[in-house]
Amino acid sequence: MTLEEQLQDAYEQAAERAPVSPGAYDRFLRRRAHHGRVVAATAGLALVAVLGAAVLVARQLPQEQEPAPPATAAEPTPRPHQWVYWKELRVEYGSRKPFTIELWDRVDGKKYARPTSNRRTGGVPKVRKERVDFPSMVSARWPRCPPGKREQLARIRPAVGLGHWFPNPAAVPTDPDGLLAAIYQLVEDPDCAPIPVGDTVQDRAFMLIDGMLQTVQPAEVHAALYQALAKIPGVTVVQGATDAAGRHGVAFTRAAAIEGPGSSDWLRLEIILDNNPRYLGARHVVTRDHHIPNVGGPGGTWNRKGQVLVSRAQLALAIVDAPCQRPGETTTCAAYVETTLVAGVSSRTRP
């Protein structure tokens, strides 16, 4: 090993020891208060919970479902060491251009991978491995979930199937009513729900199903989820919706507190499906003019009715054999970071 390689290795190992304590955004807000206007701390916290959830969802939990629904039924059960590939196109209000996100979750849920630049290596394969302490990640993202219940969340779960959300997936009914009842039960406690946002149980269930639909599930579970969606009070079906990739479908829309407590008053989530039905994408739409004081500038920020804060399109969902491998390709990305979730620092070992 050259000194350069040793150094890379040393930095990577050392960086694993960097502790990230919970409540970072809250501390940030307090600190920022000395420099200027502050957002209400509670709103900020709730939001970071949303973002945290989104990141979690994006990282190791959901994102699983085949690109084409007919394949779902025909596919053999993914093996634990295969990987779920997920790709999304995203357009965000105020950002200059759309961007795509690619992620790989190992089927057993213990690892995830994301591509990085191989500019410095000139195309030579470069893999960085790091470990993240899952329980402390969970504590940071569900700060109000009491110990005892938090352990449930901190259990590393498979990335495919209902076992990802439910402690006992075998007991979850796969008929629409039964499944919806089980989902309601799962999100009943706002502090410990898998998606720690949403003003009501129905609100949380609606957003959770959005996540579930983006994952690899047996065909009958997908079918039940689609039907359950329409059974949630307040959901309306709108024809002629378009996702971020320009694909047309039907939107299931409902008020949703995507941006933290109370935001269901001015925001709705549109889940867009095609006729198959297959999950296409979603949009976060402002439903009435809304002013957030002291944010984004001296005059605050106005969200105008009809504004689309986020528009996304799921471009791919597939099972592949290796991290950072794309469907139809036999090789992996030249450079990627592979993260292993561990429970407790004491389990740290050399990769």
Q: Which is nearer to another protein, 44 or 190 (CB)?
A: 44
User: Using the rule CB under 8 A, is 238 a contact of another protein?
Assistant: no
Query: Do 35 and 183 touch, CB atoms closer than 8 A?
Result: no
Q: Applying CB under 8 A, which part among 2-10, 203-211, 236-244, 319-327 lies near another protein?
A: 2-10
Please, what is the minimum distance in Å from the beta carbon of residue 110 to another protein?
A: 19
Please, what is the minimum distance in Å from the beta carbon of residue 43 to another protein?
A: 10
Query: Do 199 and 181 touch, CB atoms closer than 8 A?
Result: no
Rg over alpha carbons for the chain, rounded to the nearest Å, is: 21
Q: Tell me which of 40, 156, 181, 295 binds another protein, using CB under 8 A.
A: 295
Q: Quote the CA–CA distance of 330 and 292 in Å, as a whole number.
A: 49
Dihedral pair phi/psi, residue 90, rounded to 5°: -130, 135
Q: Quote the CA–CA distance of 240 and 248 in Å, as a whole number.
A: 6
Q: Which is nearer to another protein, 11 or 236 (CB)?
A: 11
DSSP state string for 155-181: S---SSSGGGT-SSGGGS--SHHHHHH
User: Using the rule CB under 8 A, is 44 a contact of another protein?
Assistant: yes
User: Using the rule CB under 8 A, is 346 a contact of another protein?
Assistant: yes
Q: Which is nearer to another protein, 288 or 348 (CB)?
A: 348
Q: Quote the CA–CA distance of 111 and 133 in Å, as a whole number.
A: 12
Q: Applying CB under 8 A, which part among 154-162, 169-177, 191-199, 343-351 lies near another protein?
A: 343-351
Chain residues 51-110 in contact with another protein, contact rule CB under 8 A: 51-52, 54-55, 92-95
Q: Which is nearer to another protein, 92 or 199 (CB)?
A: 92
Q: Applying CB under 8 A, which part among 184-192, 198-206, 238-246, 290-298 lies near another protein?
A: 290-298
Q: Which is nearer to another protein, 25 or 166 (CB)?
A: 25
Q: Quote the CA–CA distance of 94 and 247 in Å, as a whole number.
A: 22
Q: Quote the CA–CA distance of 62 and 29 in Å, as a whole number.
A: 30
Chain residues 117-136 in contact with another protein, contact rule CB under 8 A: 117, 119-120
Q: Tell me which of 127, 156, 308, 309 binds another protein, using CB under 8 A.
A: 309
Please, what is the minimum distance in Å from the beta carbon of residue 265 to another protein?
A: 16
User: Using the rule CB under 8 A, is 237 a contact of another protein?
Assistant: no
Q: How far is CA 304 from the centre of its chain?
A: 26
Half-sphere exposure of 57 (CA within 13 A, CB side): 21
Contacts of 230 (CB under 8 A, 6+ apart): 237, 252
Q: Applying CB under 8 A, which part among 8-16, 77-85, 189-197, 227-235 lies near another protein?
A: 8-16
Contacts of 294 (CB under 8 A, 6+ apart): 37, 38, 39, 300
Q: Which is nearer to another protein, 89 or 318 (CB)?
A: 89
Query: ∠73-78-80 over CA atoms, to 5°?
Result: 155
Q: Which is nearer to another protein, 222 or 268 (CB)?
A: 268
Q: Applying CB under 8 A, which part among 113-121, 171-179, 275-283, 320-328 lies near another protein?
A: 113-121
Q: Tell me which of 77, 100, 276, 301 binds another protein, using CB under 8 A.
A: 301
Partners of 338 in the beta sheet? Answer: 113, 129
Q: Could you tell me how many residues of this chain bind another protein (CB under 8 A)?
A: 54
Asked, as a colleague might, if the bond just before 277 is cis with ω within 30 of 0, I would say yes
The full length of the chain comes to 351
Neighbouring C-beta atoms of residue 1, cutoff 10 Å: 8
Q: Tell me which of 71, 108, 116, 227 binds another protein, using CB under 8 A.
A: 116
Partners of 291 in the beta sheet? Answer: 302
| Binding interface with another protein (CB under 8 A) | 1-4, 6-15, 17-21, 24-25, 27-28, 31-32, 35-36, 39, 44, 47-48, 51-52, 54-55, 92-95, 116-117, 119-120, 259, 292, 295-297, 301, 309, 346, 348-350
